[in-house]
Amino acid sequence: MFANVIILAANKNIDREYSYRIPQSFSEKIKIGTKILVPFGRKKKLSEAIIINLSDKIDIEPEKLKSIEKIDPQNIFVSQNHIQLAKWMSEKYFCTLAACLKLMIPSKKSLTKSFALNNSYESIKSDVKNLTVEQLNAIKFIENKISQKDLRPILLHGVTGSGKTEVYFNIIQKIIDDGKQAIVLLPEIALTTQMVNLFYERFGDKVGITHSKLTEREKFIQWQNAAQNKISIMLGPRSAIFTPFKNLGLIIMDEEHEASYQSETTPKYNTREVAEKICEFTGANLILGSATPSVETYFRVQNHQINLIKMPTRVNKKVPKIKIVDMRKELADGNVNIFSRELIFEMQNTFDRNEQVILFLNRRGHSSFVSCRNCGFVLKCNMCDVNYTFHSAENFLICHYCGQKSILPKICPECGSKYIKLLGVGTQKIENEIKKIFPDKNILRMDSDTTSKKSDYERILKSFATKKTDILIGTQMIAKGLNFPNLSLVGIICADISLNIGDFHCSESTFQLLSQVSGRAGRAQTNALSIIQTYNPEHYSIVCAKDGDYKKFYDQEIMFRQQMNYPPFTNIFCILMTLPDKNLLDEKISLLKKVLMRCNKNNQFQILGPAPAAISKIKNNYRQKILIKHENETKLKNFALFSINLLASKNLLDGVKLNLTMNPNFML
């Protein structure tokens, strides 16, 4: 017998099947998927490999083949379904099969170091709930789809506080009663909160959990527990999608719109696509839960590719109060501060009631854009309808899609005011300013500067939860999954920041963020209020978030996507090129553009750029990108790869780092 194996440490050049002889003594213990150790190349140490095929005939003379030397002592294996999945992923996400297979097994790093799994989840006994009519309906709907073997994903569109967790619990219980298992995906941050406790309380030791804070050893134990059927539910971030359950019945993706479901490291998989593929292989059902579904998902609902069940009311019937403050008016009235009079007034009210405040800065990445503080006007590229990004070094405005440049105007082209300038505030600035206004309040800041260690994050949250902090200032990090009963005011400092990140997704992510952040305040409070400060008070992302009107938002957004030819109406393939030498980068990317243009018969493909990457320089490496659009994903992929390979075959891309992504979630 012979085995075809993939070497796990393989790079692109050796990412193919190699044949080995199976020694007689192993023949009983070896099957497809078994992890083994083989001699490879000139290496002294044995190499780890996965068997992906067995055969009794082979083209090469058997004597010339090396033998498998060992079977992995940990009994690690990859199921047939996972091998099939890995093959699909390596094609779809332009990466090695080895890299995909590695996602499906625990890494062997530090397996020797053993820590007891930290099971310090306190048991909060919650009372048995009478399900609401909406919950009962949702459960019945999902059960029907499962029993009809309707494998289309189910979107559970439930507003914040509508009680989606209870729906999940009831469906999971059914799945377990059927002798099957469930994977529950949560954004990383939710894995440290009450959600996990609730699962333990409901399902006890049937629950496994995996997240980035576990050691490799702990992750291995979780993997093994699942493979050996010791648990029936795995909670985790996107990587938990690869849990090796034998009889998977259900995948739940809570907060399906979350950007963290898109892997940013190779393999750059989209968790929803992977989940759907797994369901196709295993017959499991997929539930997508969200209060603000991604536009892509909702588009597929409209096309009947996804089933929809809605839960439009909060269990406690409270509707969050949201106010929009027009910052242009503040300026007109002579207030040049970053805080509106209303926000300061409401902060004082909140402190008078002995309650707490969160000030939220919806900053993402390194956006810097120019806008008019008098009228809200933002300079946009008229071809791409995304705002120009300001590059201070060159003192230029550049469209990050097509590369078009513009000079910085001295006065606003719309209203003639001189208040047109770089709009940007940092959390540090907010902290300094707020200290001046409320000098006796305890203020903490949570952003990437103040949370370099994991413990910082917990320390800050604890301080806020125990009311030692009056004001918490933060970025994205504080937006999600956090529940503070004494928090009654959320101030969104400048909604325009996320609206102008130079990416066609920005209306969507702003709507999602604003909806989510406003949902933070007052889960229990009666006085709860969110204040959104903005220079664009009429923008549909902001208005619809205020009104809690998802459908209206979606209808506007999908129209924009269609008009401007953006996904889901087309596909965008992003080629990101990185080089330490700026001139060489310019030369190479122009060359690539030229080849792409030449291969582009009949102008089938729309080629944009070169343009700077969202972050145009990282660690002394310059980054530029080319975007290619086409409605057929396969054609688009083939076209791009063909052109790249053409250059590579002439050694014209030597030393160049290329990063390829189909439909990136946000601009690279």
The residue ranges that bind Zn ion (CB under 5 A) are: 372, 374-375, 377, 381, 383-384, 399, 401-402, 404, 412, 414-415, 417
Please give the Cα distance from 565 to 563 (Å, whole number).
6
Segment interacting with ligand ADP (CB under 6 A) among 56-64, 164-172, 242-250, 263-271: 164-172
User: Whose CA is closest to 515, among 481, 546, 536, 538?
Assistant: 546
**Of 172 and 579, CB closest to ligand ADP:** 172
CB of 336 to Zn ion, least distance (A): 15
Q: Which residue has the tokens 């999940």?
A: 168
User: Alpha carbon of 97 to those of 21, 160, 487, 546, 641: distances in Å?
Assistant: 21, 39, 48, 46, 17
Cβ-based nearer residue to ligand ADP, 315 or 641: 315
Options 33, 106, 163, 474; binder of ligand ADP; rule CB under 6 A: 163
Per rule CB under 6 A, is residue 162 in the interface with ligand ADP?
Answer: yes
Nearer to Zn ion, 269 or 504 (CB): 504
The pairs formed by 95-102 with CB atoms below 8 angstroms and a separation of 24 or more are: 95/266, 95/267, 95/268, 96/10, 96/11, 96/12, 96/15, 97/6, 97/10, 97/15, 97/52, 98/6, 98/7, 98/8, 98/9, 98/10, 98/15, 99/266, 99/267, 100/267, 101/6, 101/8, 101/50, 102/8
Confirm if 403 and 609 have CB atoms less than 8 A apart: yes
**Binding ligand ADP by CB under 6 A: which of 48, 134, 166, 256?**
166
Residue 134 or 330: the one with the smaller Cβ distance to ligand ADP is: 134
Q: Name the residue nearer to Zn ion (CB basis): 186 or 372.
A: 372
Part of the chain binding ligand ADP (CB under 6 A), chosen from 60-68, 131-139, 270-278, 407-415: 131-139
Q: Which range binds ligand ADP by CB under 6 A, 110-118, 153-161, 367-375, 460-468?
A: 153-161
Q: Considering the rule CB under 6 A, would residue 197 count as an interface residue with ligand ADP?
A: no
Decide which of ligand ADP, Zn ion, none touches 129; Cβ closer than 5 to 8 Å per partner kind: ligand ADP
Q: Minimum distance from CB of 165 to ligand ADP (Å)?
A: 3
* Comparison of 160 and 663: residue with beta carbon closer to ligand ADP: 160
Cα separation, 657 vs 580, whole angstroms: 10
Instruction: Considering only residues 291 through 330, tell me which ones interact with ligand ADP, judged by CB under 6 A.
Output: 315
CB 195, CB 187: distance < 8 Å: no
Side chain identity, residue 492: I
Q: Is the distance from CB of 594 to CB of 600 less than 8 angstroms?
A: no
User: For residue 105, what are the contacts with CB-CB under 8 A and spacing of at least 6?
Assistant: 35, 50, 76, 77, 78, 223
What is the dihedral sign for C-alpha 51, 52, 56, 59? negative
Question: Closer to Zn ion at the Cβ: 422 or 437?
Answer: 422
# chain residues binding ligand ADP, by CB under 6 A: 14
Among ligand ADP, Zn ion, none, what binds residue 414 when CB lies within 5 to 8 Å by partner kind? Zn ion
Q: CA 659, CA 94: separation in Å to the nearest integer?
A: 9
Minimum distance from residue 378 beta carbon to Zn ion (Å): 10
State the minimum distance, in angstroms, from the CB of residue 638 to Zn ion. Answer: 26
- Minimum CB distance to Zn ion smaller for 226 or for 372: 372
Q: Which stretches of the chain bind ligand ADP, using CB under 6 A?
A: 129-132, 135, 158, 160-166, 315
